[in-house]
Amino acid sequence: MSDVENWPIKELVEGKHYYLEDGLMVLTEHFHLVRGNCCGNACRHCPYNHENVK
């Protein structure tokens, strides 16, 4: 199975998984908690203290 098939979120819901700000998608803390780890992109709502940001 690919990573996409294993992904727990099948459809992103605005207001729950993300919101739009100045035309950009901002991912919510809920999205990151479902994701399960820090992606390393210094996301605004990272609940993992940006542990993978270099």
Q: First and final CA of the chain: distance in angstroms?
A: 30
Name the pTM for this structure.
Answer: 0.78
What was the pLDDT predicted at 30?
A: 95
pLDDT band (50, 70, 90) for residue 4 = low
Q: What is the pLDDT of residues 21-51, one digit of tens each?
A: 999 999 999 999 999 999 999 999 999 999 9
Q: Residue 27 and residue 15: Cα distance in Å, rounded?
A: 9
Q: Residue 25 and residue 45: Cα distance in Å, rounded?
A: 12
In the chain, where are the structural domains located? 1-54
Tokens for 6?
Answer: 């294993």
